[in-house]
Amino acid sequence: MNKKELIRSPLFYVGDKYKILNQILNIFPKNINSFYEPFIGGGSVFLNVDAKNYFLNDIDNYLVNIHKYLIKNSNNKDIFFKNLKEIIFKYGFSRSFLEDIVPKEIKKKYLKTYYAKFNKDAYKKLKEDFNNSDKKSALHLYLLIIYGFNRMLRFNSEGKFNLPVGNVDLNKNVINSLNKY
């Protein structure tokens, strides 16, 4: 399997195995009936294993729920992307996969951090809404991860999502990974 054929997880999760997939996949058997993934993380490994059955697990229920949501919606991409865009537009996030809406003044003033500056208020509002809800919206949490610092998943001792905004955008790489998922 060469690098061009590999599927990258749309979570871009910390500790993702994407960069070492060729080494990992070379030691797997060619025919796999049941693939057990005890620590799914971003999911790059299972996305690149051809098996008849998959058993996916992780200690983080939020992460598992995001994967369940993505798997469930993988057969209905139009509705998934419609819902994704609705949230992005509602909160006013940057969206370079569609259009560049970050003002030139912000880009000029904050050369390397303009996405963080532009998305800060939208991110704070989405995080506040998520933390004040029942925290069951996997799509809202997914967007918090995508627009969050280092695309991490972190909660404090009170169970509140507590990652700050990152200097990132929902770009074409994320959309391509979502389409391949």
Q: Which of 150, 136, 16 is nearest to 68 (CA)?
A: 136
- Asked if 141 and 163 touch (Cβ cutoff 8 Å), the reply is no
CATH code for the structural domain at 3-59: 3.40.50.150
* Burial class for 110, CB neighbours closer than 10 Å (0-12, 13-18, 19+): middle
pLDDT at site 1: 42
Q: How confident is the model over 146-174, as pLDDT tens digits?
A: 999 999 999 999 999 999 999 999 999 99
Residue 34's beta-bridge partner residues? 53
What is the full per-residue pLDDT of the chain (181 aa) written as tens digits? 444 489 999 998 778 899 999 999 999 998 999 999 999 999 999 999 999 999 999 999 999 999 999 999 999 999 999 999 999 999 999 999 999 999 999 999 999 999 999 999 999 999 999 999 988 899 999 999 999 999 999 999 999 999 999 999 999 999 999 999 9
The single residue listed with the structure tokens 């500790």 is: 15
Structural domain spans, the chain? 3-59, 76-180
Decide if domain 76-180 falls under CATH 1.10.1020.10.
yes
Provide the greatest CA pair distance for the chain. Answer: 55
Q: Which of 67-78 are b and which e, b meaning 16 or more Cβ less than 10 Å from the residue's Cβ?
A: bebbeebeeeee
Phi and psi at residue 99, to the nearest 5°: -165, 155
DSSP 16: -
For the chain, the 3-state helix, strand and coil shares in percent, each to the nearest 5, are 50, 10, 40
Transcribe 40-65 into DSSP letters: -TT-HHHHT--EEEEEE--S-HHHHH
User: Do β-strands 51-56 and 32-37 pair in parallel, antiparallel, or remain unpaired?
Assistant: parallel
pLDDT at site 135: 85
